[in-house]
Amino acid sequence: MIEEIHHRGPDNHGIRFYPGNRQEVIGLGHKRLSIIDLSDNGKQPMASVSGNTSIVFNGEIYNYHTIRRELEAEGWTFRTGTDTEVILNLYEKYGEGCLRHLNGMFAFAIYDHRKKQLFIARDRFGVRPLYYSLQGGTGLAFASELKALWKFPGVKKEVRFGALYQYARKRYVDHPDTIFEGIEKLKPGHYLIYKEGKAELKEYWDIDNFEELPLSFDDAVEELDALLLDSIRLRMISDVPVGAFLSGGLDSSLIVAMMAKYSALPIKTYSVGFEDERYSELGFARQVAERFGTDHTELKVSASDFAQHLYQAVTYRDAPLSESADVPMYMLSRMAKKDVSVILTGEGSDELFAGYPKYAYDRFAKAPWFRGLLKNPLAAAAINALPYSARKAKLAYHTLCIDDDRQRYGRWFSSIGEEAARTLFTREFQEQYLGSREERQPSVLKGTTNMNRMQYQDVKYWLSDNLLERGDRMVMAASVEGRLPFLDYRVGEFAFRLPEHYRIRGMERKYIVKKLAERYLPKELIYRKKIGFYVPVGDWFRNELKDFVGEHLLSDTFRSRGIFEAGKVEEMFSAHSRGTVNYEKELWTLLNLEIWFRACID
């Protein structure tokens, strides 16, 4: 199993077996990417000084120095300089309550030799992945990636075809489900106790405090400044070189600016872009790099580069890629690995501080005057008559017409709408596989306001099941550890207690983050029109990659799967190739499903 994830830890490995209850045997295996205490002392599985517990651990505990000092003051002893051993002692002191003391990204399993039980936990936001499968007669198997689980006896690589419908519409599958039968994700902020063949799942953390903080705006900016600086300071602790991905956007630029306060040496930064300046922010990234004197490296990705690495990225993901940006991220991570083993990135800011346009628009969804406008037949006719170039306005209108909050929130980011999906999937597929389980909505939706509820759903599902999952796979594929300062749980709890007008002022999104950034960056960089990291696959599918797409989506192999209406797919491919309709999202989704079948399933 561990050889399947060699890329996650090429520096060392270990396997240990322990006697369990009755006929049980507990096996722990680990692949190590050395970050803290590079000596063999950090090898895993690791036993505690007492010998009562053993652990395998993936991730980082950022506050381990503080916890260690507190434990040492109480008489606890340590044999290593690792954060891994801190978890062991903390568990022996607090048991399951140890989790509330940890600030970090983690997935770990502790075998308690006294209780004869496994304690398996995942961090609050789900930055680190953990999959598991409960197999009757063969016990419990768990791993950081799906490909490792498939090597365990009894775990089958059996596609849950109903989940393909959810993927096609949303670009991901809601936890705890996966795209495979019998395999689940351990939910973020949860732990699992396995003993005597039974598993018990418990939640230890969630975003559930929405009471507004009694802070003036200026004080809130000050508090956010302190929280982010401390988060970045903690995430720069490492015994190996640390760098940053720098897109030239607000979040990554602010992170680099704050990193510069803690580094006496030039920070190593990495940017990716394209030859076509319409889709590239390399120039903006270069400005930030020059301003802070970073050791900056750029990568330009061509259509042929993209196609060359697409299969590799899908294989590392174990699933269809949700975002075209996955491929450049994978390529950039491989380039960064030549210099560093730790990279800071900006994920999480948009979800926590309302950075997406939909947060501004959806505020009007329940307003009586706006509901009246939506019901006006003249308004509907005018919107529907808009050309394809105004598709975003159409999307906003039709999404805001949806009364149900969950359905409306999900529609904003869907790649294929409900009506289109029903015509795209074959009737036979829909009759056989579509049921309540595959189409279910997330069971939990918290928040005291519409915007809080929308952000909550994005943090719990869109972020953890999509963005964090792809981020983990693409950087770890290159044996690089990604660290996310905005996803310090203290920052997350703070963000959800801010008054809404601190997050959005008028139509200015991420308002408080931008005001904070004014302390570090020039205003022309902060308030410029955002291009975003857009991969021009729409253009490539019409030109350089047209044959590549056709070889997959017009093939007999694709047709024989019986999942999609071949004639409808051919119509979409033809219309996109002519430039009459932009089916970029749909073709990207279909192409990745086909590549996934060929690379991981067939």
Give the per-residue SS3 of 28-52.
EEEEECCCCCCCHHHCCCEECCCCC
Residue-wise pLDDT tens digits, 516-550:
999 999 999 999 987 767 899 999 999 999 999 99
**Is the peptide bond prior to 45 cis by the omega test (within 30 degrees of 0)?**
yes
- Cβ neighbors of 61 (< 8 A, separation 6 or more) are 67, 83, 86, 87, 102, 103, 104, 106
Amino acid at residue number 496: F
Amino acid at residue number 124: R
**CA pseudo-torsion sign 602, 130, 324, 412:** positive
What dihedral do alpha carbons 80, 83, 88, 90 form, nearest 10°? Answer: 120
What dihedral do alpha carbons 65, 340, 459, 7 form, nearest 10°? Answer: -100
Question: Quick one: angle between helices 584-596 and 546-553, nearest 10?
Answer: 60
Give me the pLDDT at residue 578, please.
Answer: 95
Give me the pLDDT at residue 397, please.
Answer: 86
| Distance (Å, whole) CA 25 – CA 7 | 27
- Cβ neighbors of 601 (< 8 A, separation 6 or more) are 157, 159
Name the binding residues for ATP. 272
| Distance (Å, whole) CA 84 – CA 59 | 9
Residue 137 has pLDDT above 70, yes or no: no
Quote the mean pLDDT of the chain.
93
Q: Tokens 């090898």 belong to which residue?
A: 43
What dihedral do alpha carbons 196, 201, 205, 206 form, nearest 10°? Answer: 180
Residue 436 has pLDDT above 60, yes or no: no
CB atoms within 10 A of CB 446: 15
Mean pLDDT over 163-192 rounds to 94
520 closest CA partner among 252, 281, 238, 198: 252
Residue-wise pLDDT tens digits, 438-496:
445 555 778 889 999 999 999 999 999 999 999 999 999 999 999 999 999 999 999 99
| Distance (Å, whole) CA 448 – CA 500 | 11
Domains (range + CATH), the chain: 2-203 (3.60.20.10), 217-274+281-353+448-524 (3.40.50.620), 536-602 (no CATH)
Identify whether the C-beta of residue 162 lies closer than 8 Å to the C-beta of residue 434. Answer: yes
Residue 388 has pLDDT above 70, yes or no: no
| Distance (Å, whole) CA 150 – CA 133 | 10
Instruction: Locate all alpha helices (DSSP H) within 260-376, ordered by sequence.
Output: 282-291, 303-317, 326-336, 349-353, 357-362, 368-374
- Tell me the two tokens of residue 516: 């904070």
| Distance (Å, whole) CA 41 – CA 60 | 16
- Read off the DSSP letter of residue 186: P
Name the binding residues for L-glutamine. 83
**CA pseudo-torsion sign 313, 314, 316, 321:** positive
Confidence of residue 32 (pLDDT cuts 50, 70, 90): very high
- Read off the DSSP letter of residue 321: -
Identify whether the C-beta of residue 271 lies closer than 8 Å to the C-beta of residue 258. Answer: no
Amino acid at residue number 207: I
Identify whether the C-beta of residue 324 lies closer than 8 Å to the C-beta of residue 464. Answer: no
Distance of CA 567 to the CA centre of its chain: 34
Strand extents, DSSP E, 409-526: 481-483
Residue 395 has pLDDT above 90, yes or no: no
Run of H or E residues at 539: helix 537-542
Least confident range from 45-59, 114-128, 436-450, 504-518: namely 436-450
- Read off the DSSP letter of residue 144: S
Give me the pLDDT at residue 407, please.
Answer: 86
| Distance (Å, whole) CA 67 – CA 211 | 29
What end-to-end distance do the CA atoms of the chain give, in Å?
A: 20
| Distance (Å, whole) CA 586 – CA 590 | 6
Give me the pLDDT at residue 438, please.
Answer: 46
DSSP code string of 280-296: --HHHHHHHHHHTT-EE
Identify whether the C-beta of residue 112 lies closer than 8 Å to the C-beta of residue 101. Answer: no
| Distance (Å, whole) CA 479 – CA 146 | 17
Partners of 521 in the β-ladder: none
502 closest CA partner among 119, 190, 156, 222: 222
Identify whether the C-beta of residue 443 lies closer than 8 Å to the C-beta of residue 406. Answer: no
Identify whether the C-beta of residue 167 lies closer than 8 Å to the C-beta of residue 434. Answer: no
| Distance (Å, whole) CA 401 – CA 407 | 11
List C-alpha distances in Å: 403 to 38, 175, 364, 407, 409. 55, 24, 12, 8, 10
Residue 296 has pLDDT above 90, yes or no: yes
Name the binding residues. 83, 272
| Distance (Å, whole) CA 290 – CA 296 | 8
DSSP code string of 494-527: HHTTS-HHHH-BTTBTTHHHHHHHTTTS-HHHHS
- In b/e form, how buried is each residue of 368-378, taking b as 16+ CB within 10 angstroms? eeeeeebeeee
> Which phi and psi (to 5°) does residue 550 adopt?
-65, -35
Give me the pLDDT at residue 185, please.
Answer: 97
Q: Are strands 481-483 and 342-344 parallel, antiparallel or unpaired?
A: parallel
| Distance (Å, whole) CA 502 – CA 3 | 48
